[in-house]
C-alpha cells in the first residue's frame, strides 16, 4: 500500500487543494497515516484534530482520523472551530503531541487543506515534502489508535479573555466594537467571546457557512471590509475587527473607517508591549512598512525583518525569543503571555487591551501613524521555473549599486525615495512586489525601478494574479 498525492497540494506552509480535483478523502487518509507514522517514530502518540466550516471539512476529518488511528496514533477530536483553537488544543494539553486543522483558510469554497503542528513546532517545508515521500513509499506504521471527543470552545474562550488581565473592566464599559466573522469558523467562538467582554458589541455573519454568502473571508482585501466599515459608520462604533475563514488572520478599521493594516496593528501592539518589556525583539515580515521598524526602535525595541510565511515567522520567534511578531497578511503572534501562534480572536482582545493600557482610542493610535504612500501587494504570474531565478538576477545586478539591498526574502531595496520589494511566492507561480514612499513622485520612481529590473530579466509587471 502506498499513496501518491497530486504534487500541487504539497505546499510550503500547508497542504491545500481543490475538492474533487486535487484533494479527496483518500488523500486525507494518507495524510493521517503518514503524519501519524512520522509522529510515532519521533516518540509521539496523540494528535488533536479540528476542522473549519467548509462543506467538505467533515468528510476530510473522518478520513484523516481513520488514517491517524491506522498508524497507531490516538486522536483527540476538538470539533468545528478556528485554526487557533486547534493550536490551543495542541499547546495547552500535556497529553497531545501534534495537531492537524482541516481548513481552506481564506481560499474559495471549493478549496480545502491541512495546517499542522508537530511536537510543539510548525510542520512545513521539508516536513511536508517528507510526508509526501512517506506516503509514496507506503512507509507506514500499523496500529489501532483510540478516538475521544474533547470539545474545547469554552476553555478556549476563557483563555482568550486572559488577554485583558490587569485591566479594570469598568474602564472598558463604554467601548463599542463591530466584528465580522465572515461566515468563517471563528463565528461560534466569537459569539461566546463578545458575550463575556465588557462594552457593546455588534457581530456580523457569525453563522458558519462554507459557501461564504456575504463576502470572501480575506480581511486583507479592502473590499471585504465594506460591510464592517458600514456597520462602524452606522452605529458610530469605536472600531471594527474582521477575521479570515479560519480565524488566524485579523483585519481592522478605526472609527473613521480607515483600514489598519497588519503592520500598523503591529505598531500598536509593539508600543503597548514595549512599555512592559523594554528592549524586546519584535519581528515583522519583509513586506512591512519602514514606519513599523522605525516605530519599534523609537519605543526602545529591537526590530527584526524576516521572511514572509507564518511557519517561518513562528520558527524565528522560537530562535530569537521574540515576544511579538506579525505579517502584513494579518497573522499576529503573541508569545509574551500567550503561546506564540497566530490567533486573530486573541489579537482582537489584545487590541482592546492595548488601547486601554496606552490610554488612547484605536482611532487616535491609527491617526498618529505617519502617512506613507504605498502600493498594495502586487502579484503577477511568472513561470514556476523562472520565479526564484529572476529574483536572483535582480539581486546580482544590484550587488554594487548605491542602494541598500536586503536579501532576507527576495530583494528589498531602500533608496532616498523609500523602498521596494520583489520576492518569489513560496506557494504559487507568482512574483510579489510592493513599494512605499513618503510621496507620490517617490513612489513612481520606485515603481520605475521595479519595472526596469523586471525588463532586464525579460519580465514585466503584467496581469495581476489572485490568491
Cβ atoms of 36 and 71 closer than 8 Å: yes
- At residue 191, φ and ψ (nearest 5 deg) are -60, -40
β-pair partners for 413: 405, 420
Phi-psi region of 300 (alpha: psi -120 to 50; beta: other; left: phi over 0): left
Nearest to 376 by CA among 282, 262, 250: 262
Active-site positions read: 105
Question: Looking up cell 531602500, which residue turns up?
Answer: 414
By C-alpha distance, which of 270, 268, 180, 161 is closest to 225? Answer: 180
**Grid coordinates of 431:** 512574483
Amino acid at each position: 500500500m502506498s499513496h501518491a498525492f497530486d504534487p500541487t497540494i504539497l505546499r510550503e506552509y500547508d497542504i491545500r487543494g481543490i475538492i474533487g480535483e486535487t484533494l479527496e478523502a483518500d488523500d486525507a487518509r494518507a495524510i493521517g497515516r503518514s503524519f501519524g507514522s512520522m509522529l510515532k517514530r519521533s516518540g509521539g502518540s496523540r494528535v488533536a484534530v479540528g476542522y473549519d466550516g467548509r462543506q467538505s471539512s467533515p468528510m476530510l476529518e473522518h478520513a484523516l482520523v481513520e488514517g491517524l488511528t491506522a498508524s497507531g496514533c490516538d486522536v483527540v477530536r476538538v470539533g468545528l472551530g478556528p485554526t487557533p483553537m486547534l493550536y490551543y488544543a495542541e499547546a495547552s494539553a500535556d497529553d497531545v503531541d501534534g495537531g492537524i486543522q482541516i481548513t481552506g483558510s481564506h481560499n474559495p469554497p471549493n478549496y480545502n487543506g491541512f495546517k499542522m503542528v508537530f511536537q510543539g513546532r510548525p510542520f512545513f517545508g521539508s516536513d511536508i515534502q517528507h510526508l509526501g515521500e512517506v506516503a509514496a513509499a507506503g512507509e507506514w506504521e500499523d496500529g489501532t489508535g483510540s478516538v475521544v471527543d474533547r470539545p474545547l470552545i469554552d476553555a478556549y474562550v476563557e483563555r482568550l479573555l486572559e488577554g485583558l488581565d490587569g485591566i479594570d473592566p469598568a474602564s472598558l464599559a463604554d467601548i463599542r466594537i463591530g466584528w465580522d466573522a465572515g461566515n468563517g469558523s471563528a463565528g461560534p467562538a466569537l459569539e461566546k467571546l463578545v458575550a463575556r467582554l465588557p462594552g457593546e458589541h455588534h457581530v456580523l455573519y457569525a453563522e458558519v457557512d462554507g459557501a461564504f454568502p456575504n463576502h470572501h473571508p480575506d480581511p486583507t482585501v479592502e473590499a471585504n471590509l465594506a460591510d464592517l466599515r458600514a456597520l462602524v459608520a452606522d452605529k458610530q462604533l469605536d472600531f471594527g475587527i474582521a477575521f479570515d475563514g479560519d480565524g488566524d488572520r485579523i483585519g481592522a478599521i478605526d472609527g473613521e473607517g480607515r483600514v489598519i493594516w497588519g503592520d500598523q496593528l503591529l505598531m500598536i501592539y509593539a508600543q503597548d508591549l514595549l512599555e512592559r518589556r523594554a528592549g524586546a525583539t519584535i519581528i515583522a515580515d519583509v513586506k512591512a512598512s519602514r514606519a513599523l521598524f522605525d516605530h519599534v526602535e523609537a519605543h526602545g525595541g529591537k526590530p527584526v525583518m524576516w521572511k514572509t510565511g507564518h511557519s517561518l515567522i513562528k520558527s524565528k520567534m522560537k530562535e530569537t525569543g521574540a515576544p511579538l511578531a506579525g505579517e502584513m497578511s494579518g497573522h499576529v503572534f503573541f508569545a509574551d503571555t500567550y503561546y506564540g501562534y497566530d490567533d486573530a480572536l486573541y489579537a482582537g482582545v489584545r487590541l482592546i487591551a492595548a488601547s486601554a493600557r496606552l490610554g488612547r482610542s484605536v482611532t487616535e493610535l491609527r491617526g498618529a501613524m505617519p502617512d506613507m504612500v504605498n502600493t498594495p501587494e502586487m502579484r503577477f504570474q511568472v513561470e514556476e521555473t523562472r520565479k526564484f531565478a529572476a529574483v536572483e538576477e535582480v539581486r546580482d545586478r544590484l550587488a554594487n549599486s548605491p542602494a541598500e539591498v536586503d536579501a532576507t526574502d527576495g530583494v528589498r531595496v531602500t533608496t532616498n525615495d523609500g523602498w521596494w520589494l520583489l520576492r518569489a511566492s513560496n506557494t504559487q507561480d507568482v512574483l510579489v512586489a510592493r513599494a512605499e514612499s513618503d510621496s507620490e513622485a517617490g513612489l513612481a520612481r520606485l515603481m520605475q525601478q521595479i519595472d526596469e529590473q523586471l525588463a532586464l530579466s525579460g519580465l514585466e509587471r503584467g496581469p495581476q494574479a489572485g490568491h
